[in-house]
Chains A and B, each alone.
Chain A
Amino acid sequence: MDEIRFTLNGEAVAYDGSAADRLLDVLRDVYDDRSVKCGCKEGECGACAVLIDGELVNSCMVAMGAVDGSAVVTLEGYRETDRFRALDKAFAEVTAVQCGYCIPGMVLAAEATLAKHPHPTDDQIREGLSGNLCRCTGYNAIAQAVANAAEEANGLW
């Protein structure tokens, strides 16, 4: 492999570092996507979650070689969408953000959940967010925000 080609938030990029490098580190340090948070480096917290080809994946668990040919979306790209604006409004309205560290991953987990279940039950929301740890909120407000976004979204998902 000469270089690793993928799209990052819709833009074609080529990475010529090691194929064994972590996607998490590359996103933060090379592409400056600092919304991607490092919580645990073992897939246990979801703070580094991104979308790869539309699916929620923890970027700490991805080696760069596996990204070749993929479409990677971080919050930096997702925030340009109408879906983000719906979630942003819903999160703000119920004060679903406290310290904020989990929120980029949480928002992308919400997107993945709503993409799968446009009219989610509380159980589906909580399962969708279950890989994203939050120590501040107790999750009620976040789950409520996702439910509200779904209800007000009007066909966005």
Chain B
Amino acid sequence: MSLYFHGAGFTGTGERDTIKATAKLHKYPDGTVEVLASNGEIGQGLRTTFPKIVANELNIPLEKVFYNHPDTARVPDSGPTVASRSLMTVGELLRHAAVKLRSDWKEGEDQVVTEHYKQPDFMIDFDMATFSGDAYPTYAWGVNAIEVELDTYTGLVKILGAYGNFDVGTPIDWNIVMGQMEGGFLQGIGYASIEQIGYDKTGRIRNRSFSDYLIPTAMDVPNMQCLLHVEKYPYGPYGAKGAGELPLVGAAGAYVEAMEQALGNVELHHAPFTAEDAIAELGKEAE
């Protein structure tokens, strides 16, 4: 089992001093609203969740709001698509922009609203010299439990159950967040168990293809269950926090601890912990 957290957004004052995000809404005369931001849609669902926030704040149908794949010639710099920040930081900028647009809505007119990032008042500046202050504005939290059955002849592990409870604040879209949690969790289990990278004698990575770098298939963890626990973050849109990275982080700790128990209360300190590692550990015990 693992209990863990992951910082949401850029570290320290990075959002204020380095990224300085700007986001825009462009309302067209026909009443449709375009989101203008630089965050890429890579399957994490921003083209759905950004418009959901804006449509909700403007109280207009979701179909009236759209977010095209960003073209940097047209969009403001709202920062990179990293650090579990897009929804929490840029989503909140867009919410603020939508609030402004709502109060200044002029039917039939072309309007553009711009919003710049402001660091929340409560944050204590992070000091890079002393490593003190608020490292992150908030954290996402997770609890993972993984149940394993070890074949002592081969070292192969059957994952009997993988359970994750994740707090990423308010889910703007439940399906999307759940997809992120399940996908990240399985990736973490892969990292913990089979995704070994090896080097040859000259230092070249040996995993040069999909047959050498193994990721889980649909059959590897058929019994993964995820839950959402909601602790709202007041400075994220409707209480949303960072979600992208969290689900990957805790799997290795939970898996390796399960392997410690399966092997008889040994102490293990690395991931991935592979079938080969398990047989080596059993060999030590036999001696």
Q: Is any CB of A less than 8 Å from a CB of B in the complex? A: yes
Could you say which of A40, A95, A100, A142 has the most chain B C-beta atoms within 10 Å of its C-beta? Answer: A95
Chain A positions 91-133 with a Cβ under 8 Å from a chain B Cβ: 94-100, 122-123, 125-127, 129-133
How many A residues touch B, CB cutoff 8 Å?
A: 32
Tell me whether B182 and A137 are in contact (CB under 8 A): yes
The residues of B that contact A97 with a CB separation of less than 8 Å are 43
Interface locus among B19-27, B125-133, B213-221, B230-238 = B213-221
Measured between beta carbons, the chain B residues less than 8 angstroms from A135 are 183, 187, 215
Number of A-B contacts (CB under 8 A): 80
Q: Which of A122-153 contact B (CB under 8 A)?
A: 122-123, 125-127, 129-143
Q: Which of A40, A122, A138 contacts B182 (CB 8 A)?
A: A138
Interchain CA distance A130-B215 in the complex, whole Å: 12
Cα distance, A95 to B226, chains bound together (Å): 15
The distance in angstroms between the C-alpha atoms of A42 and B184, with both chains bound, is: 26
- Chain B CB count within 10 A is highest, among A45, A100, A139, A140, for A140
A42 close to B183 (CB less than 8 A): no
Q: List A contacts of B179 (CB < 8 A).
A: 95-96, 98, 136-138, 141
Q: Is the CB of B224 within 8 A of A138?
A: yes
Chain B contact residue count (CB 8 A cutoff) = 26
A44 engages B183 (CB within 8 Å)? no
In angstroms, Cα B219 to Cα A132, docked, is 11
Note all chain A residues with C-beta closer than 8 A to B45. 95, 98
CA distance A134 to B186 in the complex (A): 10
Prevailing SS type, chain A contact patch: loop
Interface pair B210/A126, CB less than 8 Å apart: no
Contact between chains at A123 and B222 (CB < 8 Å) = yes
Chain B residues numbered 171-218 whose CB sits less than 8 Å from any CB in chain A: 173, 175-176, 178-179, 182-187, 209-211, 215, 217-218
Residue positions of B touching A, CB distance < 8 A: 42-45, 173, 175-176, 178-179, 182-187, 209-211, 215, 217-219, 221-222, 224, 226
What are the 9 tightest A-B residue pairs by CB atom distance, in nearest-first order?
A: A98-B43, A99-B43, A138-B182, A95-B175, A138-B186, A44-B210, A40-B210, A129-B218, A139-B218
A-B contacts, 18 of them at CB < 8 A, read A40-B209, A95-B173, A98-B45, A99-B42, A123-B222, A126-B219, A126-B222, A129-B217, A130-B219, A131-B217, A133-B215, A136-B43, A138-B182, A138-B224, A139-B182, A139-B217, A141-B178, A143-B222
